[in-house]
Amino acid sequence: MASPKFHMAVRKYHRWLGFFLAGIMAIYAVSGVLLIFRPTDFLKFDQTEVRQLSQDLNGKQVASKIKVKGLKVVEENDNQVVLNMGTYDKADGVATITRKDYPLVLAKMVKLHKATNNSPLFWLNISFGVALLFFVISAFLMFMPKLPMYKNGLKIAGLGAVVAVLVVMFGS
């Protein structure tokens, strides 16, 4: 049985880590909500990019040079290649691409949430996940096990876990 001193120490670490991570949690929360709407144009704006490519490329060559996800050739003639996101002028080699994307700050937030092990943000995501796991465990170590608050907390946490499992299993 852990002492009251141990429980107070856990409360202190839980509190200070919570204050430290509050900003990170807010950013993850906003980026998570944005990711829900990624198939839509919610908060996205037209962003035009002009690229100089070689002259006289065909549609397939243009698509491979531009390397934009979802880019497709719609039509091609002697003068230009029409893309689903813009055009390419064969005479001067200028490709104009217009696509919808988040403003810079929001785009960076979404990138944070989508980071993989090839990204420097990878370590922040792992550290944040471990810190959240600490929160889960330390929440149960903040109270003495014989107190009603502890027992009620276990019931509520169990209910939350059941709801999460049901939503994951039957929500889609």
Using alpha carbons, list the distances in angstroms from residue 142 to 76, 77, 165.
Answer: 67, 71, 26
Please report which helix (H) or strand (E) contains residue 133, including its range: helix 121-141
pLDDT digits (tens, 9 = 90+) for 18-31: 888 888 888 888 88
**85-125 per-position pLDDT tens digit:** 999 999 999 999 999 999 998 888 888 878 888 888 888 88
Query: Which tokens belong to 140?
Result: 């149960």
Identify the helix (H) or strand (E) that includes residue 22: helix 4-36
> Mean pLDDT over residues 42-60, rounded?
93
